[in-house]
Chain A
Amino acid sequence: MSGMLKEVRLKTPVRDEDLRRLELGNVVYLDGLIYTGREGVYKRVLQEGMDPPEDLRALTNVNFHCSPAASVNADGSFNVGAVTATASFRFSKWLPQWFEVSGAKVIIGKGGMSEADYRSVFVPARAVYLTTVGYGTGALLGRGIRKVRAAHWLDDLGIAQAMWVLEVEKFGPLLVESDLDGNSLFERQNRIVNQGLARLYEGLKPPSLSRYGETDDRGEELIG
């Protein structure tokens, strides 16, 4: 059935008209340059006021929420095996400023952000979110890495948090999770799943001792 999902190949830096054509659930493969950046990088640049290690606007506009399984060889070269995204919702508070500083138009990660975030932060920045698949497709994504261009701040931030600049070819699969109008594939799917939840809980009485923060609305979003 996945033959029905449409495949799209995008070159970086991605152009506005490419993003406009993306529909929720399209399968995307990337060619070009991407960089990794998560809390370590965001904190340095946005909280501590350091300049990004490269001119990101000139480099590429794709930010990957990732820590690679990599090691540094004795000669200083890198050995990158697998790459897998890390859950993005934890970085939500940094993104408005990050879009301004970096000019990023594509965020790749795990789990997406909330539709509210897409509407208030991604849409004004004309950016979309692509989610990795599985999420354990580390070997497939690793195959898409042609070369490590740089590993910035490796000594200070460590392998997991450093900013890796990666040259990629047919990097994917990725799924279009948000479009330029701020719609979310996850939330669209969740709304369908939520319809069946009440039936599941039918007849199961709440536990004798409840916990703080407990809600009976299983349709509620827990992230963000």
Chain B
Amino acid sequence: MSTSAAVIKADAVEQAAYDVMVKAGIEIPDDYLGGIQAMADTEEGDLSAFVLRAMLENYEAAKQDRRAMCADTGVPRFYVKYGNEAGVEGGPVAVEHRIRRATARATHEVPLRPNRVHPLSRRDNDNNVGINAPEIEYSFEPDADWVDITTVHKGGLFGTDYRMLFPADGIDGIKRFYLDTLVAFGKRGLACQPAIVGIGLGGSKDTSVVLGKQAACLRTVGDRNPDPEIAALELELKEIGNSIGMGAMGFVGSSMVVDCHIEVGYTHTGGMPMSVHCFCLSSRRATARLFPDGRIEYRTDPQWFTPYLRRDSVDWAPGRMEAAE
């Protein structure tokens, strides 16, 4: 890769950010749709099955009419993955500015509900843009000259919780807190389940919450963590969630968890922080990849958790430096 590679144009960034806002708001991703279809076929609770079928109709209606699938926009946010070799005209400040402009324009044009207000004055700019809104999170990728822009519109009020557990609480403690969260927010369907449930394990409190949210929003239905032990726990928790006896809207049934994703971070030796997040019946996400030659490619799998992002330890150990010399 040449170091004098062409830069990605700021206009293209705004276009891509606008397009993913529109796509996310209107088109349900295929992986989630497939998961809901499968649940609609097997759900035995008549009310829960009715809800699932209504949602399937709703996804169709949204696509046909080009209208938002849910009027609650949730809190739109962005995830930007920078290739290590990528350059953008105007730099990261231009990227952020263009993302904010695209958010405002898509809010007006789709239209999406302007959900973002000042927490105290309740002032609404009517464009989903404000102080620290939309959130923009970053990650990096080696040997790449592209930039990925992902947006997620996640419901903002129910279905998320955090708890500091301890090593002695073990896997049982994880299961118990997981059940607590699903039961509490599943009743009356406050979490708008069936959900993609994301779990953040470890890190510090903020890391645990960030990882859990990313696990819910940035991995697709059917995807498994590459660590076999974690993958097995994902499947076990999915099973447990669907045997609560509760389905869509909290009605009697079995449709609670479309899939369960776990992400981990090294944590304090004395603790095991855990967060749980439910990505709802309007699991809205879309990604654009911008190349330096001007191409933009769209997809619904953010491919956020790359091997690089999950890297462990580092190539340094006491004594190795001398050995290398």
Contact = CB atoms under 8 A, between A and B. Distances in A.
Contacts, number: 202
B177 A190 contact: no
B212 interface: no
A4 B46 contact: yes
Contacts of A218: 183
B249 interface: yes
Contact of B250 (A66, A67, A193, A200): A193
Contacts of A135: 70, 189, 192, 249, 281
A50 interface: no
Given A71-B111, A82-B62, A158-B126, A134 B176 contact: no
Interface in B164-186: 164-166, 168-169, 172-173, 175-177, 179, 183-184
A136 interface: yes
Contacts of B62: 82, 138-139
B16 interface: no
Contacts of A33: none
A76 interface: no
A71 B25 CA distance: 15
A140 B54 contact: yes
A189 B72 contact: no
Contact of A204 (B164, B165, B176): B176
Interface stretch (A11-19, A100-108, A205-213): A205-213
Interface of B: 44, 46-47, 49-51, 53-55, 57-59, 61-62, 65, 67-73, 107-115, 117, 124, 126, 157-158, 163-166, 168-169, 172-173, 175-177, 179, 183-184, 187-190, 192, 240, 243-246, 248-252, 280-282
10 contacts: A70-B111, A79-B111, A81-B111, A133-B55, A139-B68, A142-B71, A192-B252, A193-B252, A204-B176, A206-B176
B9 to A, nearest CB: 28
A160 B165 CA distance: 38
A1 interface: yes
B168 A137 contact: no
Contact-residue bracket for chain A: 35 or more
A112 B188 contact: yes
Contact of B71 (A84, A186, A211): A84
Contact of B190 (A69, A87, A190): A87
Contact of A159 (B114, B176, B188): B114
Given A139-B68, A140-B57, A201-B179, 17 more contacts: A1-B50, A2-B46, A2-B49, A5-B46, A71-B108, A81-B68, A81-B71, A87-B157, A111-B190, A131-B249, A134-B248, A139-B61, A139-B70, A196-B244, A200-B240, A207-B165, A208-B165
A84 B112 CA distance: 11
Q: Which residue, A1, A131, A186, A190, has most C-beta atoms of chain B within 10 A?
A: A1
B58 A140 contact: yes
B65 A142 contact: yes
B282 A136 contact: yes
Given A25-B47, A158-B124, A204-B175, A186 B68 contact: no
A160 B53 contact: no
B51 A84 contact: no
A175 interface: yes
A185 B51 CA distance: 14
Interface in A1-52: 1-2, 4-5, 25, 27
Contacts of B183: 197, 218
Interface in A167-224: 173, 175, 185-186, 189-190, 192-193, 195-197, 200-201, 203-209, 211, 218, 221-223
